[in-house]
């Protein structure tokens, strides 16, 4: 039996297993191997899947890696690296699309579930606003800026524009830290206070400011309530 026939049969069996039983219980390298089938249409990609997992530590580590880092691994080219980077982006869009207007948002944790997909896998710092009506129904989520949240003039203006356009009564601000931990900086806290003060005359209440990084989430409002710079982590590792 030729190597081509062996590999073709293995690919077919793995695809069939996924379609009938899903990937629950699969090790990371097996999931990655299935993904690589579609980026590299011929040959045995199992060794490559193992090498990628060994190098980046996990499936999530592979998908979060920069394209140029992925292409340093023998067997990975521009096409296959692009394919892997597509997965986090599509997942974020998919999760965002499942949360449409009308959902009730009563807590920072609920707001976090809606906002997390917008920031998932982002390589730059991004700022989003989540707008609610008087009954705390979701009106929409809008991107305010990309880059340093300290550029507050742009962020304030866009926040006001989006709240007025959506006729919001309440809103949540959110941004990500691209490295480090999800602890609000003094600049984050100051920006929160400035935006809160700017929205009040418009009849809009800034309920909270959420900070995301590497799957963790911190509420600035609940951290302020803790006093003396203490920060409260909300469901770490579940975003």
Q: What is the pLDDT of residues 185-232, one digit of tens each?
A: 888 888 889 999 999 999 999 999 999 887 688 898 887 654 544 344
232 and 218 Cβ atoms separated by less than 8 Å: yes
Over pLDDT 70: what percentage of the chain?
A: 82
pLDDT band at 169 (very low <50, low <70, confident <90, very high): very high
Give the model's pLDDT for residue 30.
95
Q: What is the pTM of this model?
A: 0.63
Q: In what order do the strands lie in the sheet with 216-219?
A: 138-146, 126-132, 170-176, 205-213, 216-219, 232-233
The pLDDT of residue 233 is 42
- pLDDT surpassing 80 at residue 161: yes
Q: Given its phi and psi angles, is residue 120 left (phi above 0), alpha (psi -120 to 50 degrees) or beta?
A: beta
The pLDDT of residue 8 is 65
Q: Which of 140, 218, 228, 113 is nearest to 175 (CA)?
A: 218
Query: Average pLDDT in the 20-39 region?
Result: 93
Give CA–CA dist 56/58, Å, rounded.
6
Q: How confident is the model at residue 178 (pLDDT cuts 50, 70, 90)?
A: confident
Question: Is the pLDDT assigned to residue 156 strictly greater than 80?
Answer: yes
**pLDDT for residue 152:** 64
Residue 238 has pLDDT above 50, yes or no: no
């Amino acid at each position: 039996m030729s190597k081509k026939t062996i590999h073709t049969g293995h690919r077919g069996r793995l695809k069939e297993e996924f379609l009938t039983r899903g990937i629950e219980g699969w090790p990371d390298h097996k999931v990655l191997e299935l993904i690589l089938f579609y980026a590299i249409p011929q040959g045995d990609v199992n060794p490559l899947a193992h090498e990628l997992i060994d190098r980046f530590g996990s499936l999530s580590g592979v998908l979060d890696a920069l394209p140029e880092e992925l292409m340093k691994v023998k067997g990975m080219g521009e096409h296959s690296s692009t394919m892997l980077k597509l997965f986090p982006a599509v997942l974020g869009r998919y999760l965002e699309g499942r949360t449409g207007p009308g959902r009730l948002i009563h807590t920072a944790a609920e707001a976090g579930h809606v906002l997390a997909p917008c920031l998932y896998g982002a390589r730059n710092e991004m700022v989003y606003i989540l707008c609610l009506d008087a009954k705390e129904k979701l009106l929409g989520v809008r991107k305010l800026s990309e880059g340093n949240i300290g550029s507050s003039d742009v962020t304030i203006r866009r926040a006001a524009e989006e709240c007025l356009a959506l006729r919001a009564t309440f809103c949540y601000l959110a941004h990500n830290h691209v490295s480090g931990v999800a602890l609000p900086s003094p600049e984050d806290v100051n920006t929160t206070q400035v935006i809160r003060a700017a929205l009040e005359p418009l009849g809009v209440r800034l309920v909270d400011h959420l900070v995301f990084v590497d799957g963790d989430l911190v509420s600035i409002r609940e951290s302020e309530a803790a006093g003396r710079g203490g920060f409260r982590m909300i469901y770490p590792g579940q975003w």
